[in-house]
Structure 1
Amino acid sequence: MKIFRTFEEIIDYAIDEEMDEIEFYSEVANRMDSKNVKRLFRNIALEKTARMLRLEKMKDAKPELNMNQVQDMKITNSLENIDHSKNDLNYQDALILAMKKEKAKFKFYLNMADSALNKECKETFLALANDEARQRLKFEIEYEEHILVEN
């Protein structure tokens, strides 16, 4: 369980996660053969970069959160099913891993929104959650159109 003590720790955690995902999506893009697939993963990496910058700006805002609620939040990483470090990561595995990453981040931002004490903070975290949901949908559509059709 990840325990946050301050708002800054939450934002730093979120920024670190976004940076990890930028690296992941950029790396996956470089591994894929199809130009369209490369573009999908690179575009998501660019969106993550914009989100990271948005989080950096939140540091200055000092929104109020109910830290007792945040401390009880359990953050788990359910990505053990797929080894994303392997060199032969196929397209299907990459999409599944991406969908799981986006779902986990969606839940994280939703939990942060629930613990927000002021409207601006709540709206920002909800917007970030919404961004994650849109990105997951892109991967789900790609999966449905190119993986499920083949099976």
Structure 2
Amino acid sequence: MKIFRTFEEIIDYAIEKEMDEIEFYSEIANRMDRENMKGLFRNFALEKTARMLRLEKMKDVKTGFDFDEIQDLKIEGSLEDIDHAKNDLSYQDALIIAMKREKAKFKFYLNMAGSALNKECKDTFIALANEEARQKLKIEIEYDEHILLEN
């Protein structure tokens, strides 16, 4: 269970998760046989890098948070049902892992937006949540077009 006590802890946690996803998407991109998916996952890694830099800039924002409103999001337990480190990771498994990661990050940013007490911080977290939702949608479309249609 992750409990945040300061705004800086929230930002540091978010940056750490973005860094994990940069590594994840870069690694998955290198394993993909389909060039379009290599490109998609590489683009996700680049987008996560840009998001990480935005989060770094937020450290300078003077903000308030209602820390009583921030609850355990149970993100950690939902992410790794499939071992993404295994060498024989299937295309389907990679997409499922990616969808779960994007959903968890969407929930995290939405929760942070709901707890932010100033407009700038709230708007930034909402924008980050929307970016995660767009990435999840891209993965869902790929899954729908290439996994569900094949089965």
Question: TM-score surpassing 0.5?
Answer: yes
Deviations 1:81-118 (A, max 9, x none): 20111111111000000000000000000000010111
In the alignment, structure 1 residue 43 sits paired with structure 2 residue 35: no
Which residue number in structure 1 is paired with residue 54 of structure 2? 54
With normalisation by structure 1, the TM-score equals 0.96
In the alignment, structure 1 residue 15 sits paired with structure 2 residue 4: no
In the alignment, structure 1 residue 108 sits paired with structure 2 residue 84: no
Is the CA contact 2:110–2:126 (under 8 Å) kept in the aligned structure 1?
Answer: yes
What is the alpha-carbon distance in structure 2 between the residues aligned to residue 74 and residue 19 of structure 1? Answer: 19
> Which portions of structure 1, spanning 4 or more consecutive aligned residues, are displaced by more than 6 angstroms?
none
**Over aligned residue pairs, what C-alpha RMSD do you find?**
0.9
What is the alpha-carbon distance in structure 2 between the residues aligned to residue 61 and residue 127 of structure 1? Answer: 16
What is the deviation of 1:33? 1.1
Within 5 Å, which residues of 2 pair with 1:1-150? 1-70=1-70, 72-77=71-76, 78-150=78-150
What SS does the corresponding residue of 1:61 show, helix, strand or coil?
coil
Deviations 1:1-57 (A, max 9, x none): 100110000000000000000000000000111111100100111110000000000
Structure 1: give runs of 5+ residues left out of the alignment. none
The total of aligned residue pairs comes to 150
